Amino acid sequence: MYIKLANGIVYDPVHGINGEHRDIYIKDGHITRKPSSNAKIGKTYDLKGKIIMAGAIDIHTHIGGGKVNIARMMLPEDHAADLVEKTDLTRSGCGNAAPSTMTAGYRYAEMGYTACFEPAMLPANARQAHMEMADTPMVDKGAYAMLGSDDFFLRMLASKKDQAAISDYVGWIINATQALGIKVVNPGGISAFKFNQRQLELDELNKHYGVSPRDILKALVRAVTELGIPHPLHVHGCNLGVPGNLNTTLETIRAAEGMRMHLTHIQFHSYGTEGDKNFSSGAAEIAEAVNKNSNISIDVGQVLFGQTVTASGDSMLQYAGHWHAHPKKWTIMDIECDAGCGVVPFRYRDKNFVNALQWAIGLELFLLVDDPWRIFLTTDHPNGAPFTSYPHLIRLLMDRSFRNDMMSTINKEAAAASTLSSIDREYSLYEIAIMTRAAPARSLGLKNRGHLGSGAIADITVYSNNKDKEKMFSKPDYVFKGGEMVVRNGKIVKVINGATHTLRPEFDNGIEKTLKRYFDRYQTVSLGNFKIDDDEIVEHGNGKIIVQPCM
Amino acid sequence: MDKTSNTTPAITRDVICPFCGILCDDLVIQNQDERLTILENGCPKAVTSFESDIPNNSPKIKGKNVTLDDAIDAVCHILKKSHAPLFAGLGSDAGGIRQAMHLAEKTGAVLDHMHGNALIRNTLVLQDLGWITTTMSEIRNRADLIIFAGTDATNFPRFFERVVWNKQSMFNLKHDDRQIVYIGDTLDTKAGINPNGKRPTLLNCKTEHIGEIFSSLHALVSGASIDVTQIAGIKLSTLKKLAEQMKSAKYGVIVWSPADLDIPHAELTIQNFTEIAKFLTRFTRFAGFSLAGNDGATTANNVCAWQSGYPLRVNFNKGYPDYDAHRYSTSSVLKNNEVDALLWISSFSSNVNSPRASIPTIVLATPDTKLNFKADVYIPVSTPGVDHTGQLFRTDSVVALPLKQVRQSPYASVNSILKQVIERM
């Protein structure tokens, strides 16, 4: 029995389809070729004039794990204005900057998203991250394990262990924590903060281990490459939020030495020191470097105005930023000689020079980077803004006059300091489909997602075209997940549980002997109990694990 | 497993002990014909809990033995009739709490944990000014000054063995490099004596005055002068010495246990700890560490937070989560007649029993539970980490561990009972 989506206008960049009238056929949860004329079509949706894209994919959103739960617990006032009642179908909860897990899943689906990836899963906290993701319905999910400030790795690097051993360790971590990728946050800086260092430049040495962020990046980039992990090393660089960090970011791009690297929430790493306030946009330089280096991909981490909470593994710079907390409360944690976190509520104000310029810098980056296959739409939820502001952000990118209207309302000095108003570019629907579907799927190695070709999983979003793109992307007509209709007119009509995507890279498991000794000696958890087996993930009821192939 | 045979005993290693918040995970347990013996690493609490036999018990309705099936029907009947139930105790693992949350939402229940009073002392501090905290492996490898504030950690029997007097540490911290200080009343400082015989420092004061001691220390570390000779019975010179010690520590930790701070101004006292840790972090590294989480308290708090957005205490009566740390306490909603049925859950120990209430009462508790009243429904439950697998959070609220099953129990888990209740309602 087939489902037919008839007469829609299809945007499928993987197949070069740019707004063409096509029929789409679904069978057994997959998109298929046009069946023979005597095949039975069970259900036909007439989508005349409707826009069809693959389900959207968020490559970087803090949806699950310890720091998000700290944010929820610390900020009851965040939820008060957005309480969500239970319905016959859906569970209750709350929305806003630190939403409950179920509400987050529903709202992602209601915006047309079918997969979300938690970028900062601390190995020591991985079990919690998976439990929270299990309670995030509707969407597929997965997580990147955070390395680079963990004692075992730094010890290996300090004692000049060969790259093969380091790669074995990285492979072991992916398996043990059921991860889909590797992230590094302020490389070595979270560890350095525990030794009372307050800043760490790319070539500055961690006081205890004598290794630099550059050493860490190189070792991890090589490990990710050698293990064949599809998603390049996900890098939250040094000096987040520090004026002048654009040079660090340019140097970090050079440090990749042509190997693939993903620089996340790059907006927070694109600041110069020019002008009276010693704070300026580095977007042009960063965009130029990204344009020139095809090994680099980025996501933006756009700032949008309003109250949110910043939740990051970067305890060093979250501590440095705590003076700006709004409301005035904040949490920092050192975690298991493995990592750390910092949770600082923040309000971005459009009349504040720095915040307004941050907003402009993010948009400049979006508009100055040429290749939508290497730039992904994120707000670093919730750090730049809650993910529910994506439709607004899409409108800013697609609608120049709207953008300029907004520009006229922000801090005047910031508006004057930005080149934004001189940039004419408007994103097309095709480019939006690349940056929110095709490109993230390709970057993560999800071969049968992010497109609408035969064999793809039928994760599909259908929109009514609207001149107001914010309206259009806020409320899809239909969302299909695995061929089932789960959202109609922007509302959940069926609750499902998405799968968890993982990898099983090959590595020499001999490393486990060394690790066992290490855990027994120093850690407060045994090696066996640290590892998360498949049953644990499946028994929570989130369906299944999908093991993605390595390259 | 065949209970009559004298088979070779099954030995399980790396067993996680769920009976206190620090979740030691190195126990070696032997199962010989369903009788458990801890071969290695059992503290007295673990030995008592793991090694006692499973008592014979049965589901009961008003004291009369019934089948599990009938008991579950009776639970549904009570909850269906109820307009505002209270789910209290909440001593369960993540799976059990997930079901309890779902059922609470369905029935419009208030949720509170048996250690809710202790739990919210921390929550209120987190929500007021936040904090800097640390975890067990950090203390084990890094802490060169540990101040026990109002607690001696004796309710967490292996705390010192696991994270203070450990033989090896990542950064070669020797026993003599660690300074141990106790501040409080009637504290047992034996565990704080270092293996080389060095005694800890003890500042004896009433629990009520610990906050005052810490705010004085805060004044001293920030360079203020204090114009009295003693504070809460402690000489100013002693406090000055400690203030200097705190300033010169490389990684100082203040350990408290919210349950041990049973005073009206507990959260202000805890805030005195966390604010001085924040202040000292301007110059050196300092952090707080809360010893809690018995009976799955940290687990219940975490699951409640990710599913509802709020930590405990939450009321689902309006169909959405309504959070109020004071109003929705077990004692307060019972006293104010805000609830009309009680579901008590306690699957780890029978130390805290269901309150006796004049409303229909359902008790899901360990089979050794001795109630001083006849519950409307009683169902004996198995224990996570002994009788079935599951997940539990450690006191630091970061590490969750995979509980093992080490014996067969004839009793159902809270998770499976509540799941059936949800399905039947």
DSSP run (H or E) holding A432? helix A429-433
Burial class (CB in 10 A: 0-12, 13-18, 19+), B358: exposed
- Strand pairing report for A460-464 and A50-54: antiparallel
Average pLDDT of B196-202?
Answer: 97
Interchain CB distance below 8 Å, A333 and B126: no
Helices B297-308, A126-134: crossing angle, 10 deg rounding = 40
Q: What is the nearest CA distance from B129 to chain A, expressed in angstroms?
A: 4
- Measured CA to CA in angstroms, residue A47 lies from A20, A44, A478, B104 at distances of 13, 9, 10, 41
Give CA–CA dist B256/B73, Å, rounded. 43
Which residue type sits at A386?
P
Give CA–CA dist A295/A291, Å, rounded. 10
B216-272 pLDDT, tens digit each: 999 999 999 999 999 999 999 999 999 999 999 999 999 999 999 999 999 999 999
Q: How many CB atoms lie within 10 A of CB B39?
A: 15
Contact B358, B378 (CB under 8 A): no
Contact B393, B298 (CB under 8 A): yes
pLDDT at B350 over 70: yes
pLDDT at B2 over 70: no
In A, minimum Cα distance to B253 occurs at A334
Give CA–CA dist A244/A247, Å, rounded. 6
In A, minimum Cα distance to B308 occurs at A93
CATH of B56-115+295-424, one of 3.30.1490.100, 3.40.50.150, 3.40.50.720, 3.40.50.740: 3.40.50.740
Q: What kind of architecture, by CATH, is found in domain A2-53+450-492?
A: Roll (2.30)
pLDDT at A345 over 60: yes
pLDDT at B361 over 90: yes
Give CA–CA dist A158/B20, Å, rounded. 37
pLDDT at A539 over 80: no
Q: Is the peptide bond before A382 cis (omega within 30 degrees of 0)?
A: yes
pLDDT at A4 over 50: yes
Interchain CB distance below 8 Å, B308 and A68: no
Q: Is the peptide bond before A521 cis (omega within 30 degrees of 0)?
A: no
Residue listed under structure tokens 């938690």? A118
Q: What is the nearest CA distance from B425 to chain A, expressed in angstroms?
A: 13
**Span(s) in chain B for CATH 3.40.228.10:** 120-292
**What number of C-beta contacts closer than 8 Å exist between A and B?**
198
Report the residue count for chain B: 425
* pLDDT confidence band for A542 (50 / 70 / 90): low
Looking at residue B1, its pLDDT comes to 42
- The partner residues of A457 in beta bridges, in order of sequence, read A30
Average pLDDT of B23-41?
Answer: 97
* pLDDT confidence band for B353 (50 / 70 / 90): very high
- Measured CA to CA in angstroms, residue B262 lies from B117, B258, B405 at distances of 9, 7, 35
Structure tokens at A16: 């070069």
Q: Chain B contacts of A519, Cβ < 8 Å?
A: none
Provide the 8-state DSSP code for B253.
E
CB-closest option in A85, A333, A536 to B319: A85
Structure tokens at A236: 């939250």
Give CA–CA dist A161/B291, Å, rounded. 38
DSSP run (H or E) holding A459? none
Q: If you compute the radius of gyration of chain A from its CA atoms, what whole number of angstroms results?
A: 22
Sheet order of strands, B27-32 included: B10-15, B27-32, B35-40
Q: What is the nearest CA distance from B155 to chain A, expressed in angstroms?
A: 18
Domain segments of chain A as ranges? 2-53+450-492, 145-379+387-428
Contact A157, A523 (CB under 8 A): no
φ, ψ for residue B399, nearest 5 deg: -90, 125
Nearest to B375 by CA among B69, B57, B70, B75: B75
Which residue type sits at B271?
Q
Give CA–CA dist B406/B384, Å, rounded. 10
Q: Count each helix (H run) and each strand (E run) in chain B, helices first.
A: 12, 22
Interchain CB distance below 8 Å, A91 and B102: yes
For chain B, give the mean pLDDT.
97
Looking at residue B8, its pLDDT comes to 87
Contact A380, A352 (CB under 8 A): no
Q: Is the peptide bond before A386 cis (omega within 30 degrees of 0)?
A: no
Give CA–CA dist B26/B41, Å, rounded. 7
Q: Which of A141, A334, A536 to mutate to test the interface with B (most CBs of B within 10 A)?
A: A334
The CA-based angle A332-A335-A338, given to 5 degrees, is 135
- Strand pairing report for B201-204 and A460-464: unpaired
Looking at residue B283, its pLDDT comes to 96
Interchain CB distance below 8 Å, A334 and B401: no
pLDDT at A364 over 80: yes
Give CA–CA dist B390/B94, Å, rounded. 7
Average pLDDT of A410-436?
Answer: 97
Q: What is the nearest CA distance from A270 to chain B, expressed in angstroms?
A: 27
Q: Which of B170, B328, B398 to mutate to test the interface with A (most CBs of A within 10 A)?
A: B398
pLDDT at A20 over 80: yes
Q: Chain A contacts of B281, Cβ < 8 Å?
A: 319, 332
Give CA–CA dist A311/B14, Å, rounded. 33
- Measured CA to CA in angstroms, residue B247 lies from A125, A216, B243, B252, B364 at distances of 31, 32, 6, 9, 50
Structure tokens at B17: 């002990």
> In degrees to the nearest 10, what's the CA dihedral of A323, A313, A83, A394?
90
Average pLDDT of B149-168?
Answer: 97
Give CA–CA dist B14/A9, Å, rounded. 58
Interchain CB distance below 8 Å, B309 and A103: yes
In B, minimum Cα distance to A154 occurs at B170
CATH of B120-292, one of 3.40.50.1110, 3.40.50.2300, 3.40.605.10, 3.40.228.10: 3.40.228.10
The SS3 assignment for B371 reads coil
Give CA–CA dist A219/A234, Å, rounded. 13
**Span(s) in chain B for CATH 3.40.50.740:** 56-115+295-424
B304-349 pLDDT, tens digit each: 999 999 999 999 999 999 999 999 999 999 999 999 999 999 999 9
In A, minimum Cα distance to B171 occurs at A208
Percent of chain B with pLDDT over 70: 99
Interchain CB distance below 8 Å, B400 and A131: yes
Give CA–CA dist A409/A413, Å, rounded. 11
Give CA–CA dist A290/A296, Å, rounded. 6
ipTM above 0.90, yes or no: yes
Percent of chain B with pLDDT over 90: 98
Q: Which of B29, B306, B391 to mutate to test the interface with A (most CBs of A within 10 A)?
A: B306
Q: What is the nearest CA distance from B290 to chain A, expressed in angstroms?
A: 13
Q: How many CB atoms lie within 10 A of CB B374?
A: 14
Task: Enumerate residues 6+ apart whose C-beta is below 8 A from A16.
Answer: none
Looking at residue A438, its pLDDT comes to 98
B71-126 pLDDT, tens digit each: 999 999 999 999 999 999 999 999 999 999 999 999 999 999 999 999 999 999 99
pLDDT at B5 over 70: no
In A, minimum Cα distance to B134 occurs at A334
CA B213 to centroid of chain Cα atoms: 26
Q: What is the nearest CA distance from B384 to chain A, expressed in angstroms?
A: 14
**Longest Cα separation, chain B:** 75
Task: Enumerate residues 6+ apart whose C-beta is below 8 A from A491.
Answer: A110
Structure tokens at A293: 């280096």
Looking at residue A541, its pLDDT comes to 64
In B, minimum Cα distance to A193 occurs at B285
For chain A, give the mean pLDDT.
97
Contact A265, A236 (CB under 8 A): yes
φ, ψ for residue B12, nearest 5 deg: -115, 130
Q: What is the nearest CA distance from A337 to chain B, expressed in angstroms?
A: 6
Interchain CB distance below 8 Å, A93 and B320: yes
Q: How far is the first Cα of chain A from the last one, in angstroms, to the nearest whole number?
A: 35
Average pLDDT of A257-273?
Answer: 97
- Measured CA to CA in angstroms, residue B261 lies from B90, B122, B173 at distances of 22, 11, 30
Nearest to A481 by CA among A129, A130, A48, A108: A108
Task: Enumerate residues 6+ apart whose C-beta is below 8 A from A536.
Answer: A127, A130, B391, B402
CB-closest option in B25, B142, B319 to A194: B142
Q: Which of A62, A63, A73 to mutate to test the interface with B (most CBs of B within 10 A)?
A: A73
Average pLDDT of A206-210?
Answer: 97
- Strand pairing report for A491-492 and A484-488: antiparallel
Report the residue count for chain A: 551
Q: How many CB atoms lie within 10 A of CB A98?
A: 31
Q: Chain B contacts of A524, Cβ < 8 Å?
A: 25, 135-137, 140, 162-163, 399
Give CA–CA dist A377/A204, Å, rounded. 32
- Measured CA to CA in angstroms, residue A115 lies from A66, A303, A482, B294 at distances of 20, 22, 12, 36
Give CA–CA dist B155/B87, Å, rounded. 26
Q: Chain A contacts of B134, Cβ < 8 Å?
A: 333-335
Helices B116-128, B266-280: crossing angle, 10 deg rounding = 40
Structure tokens at B139: 């203390």
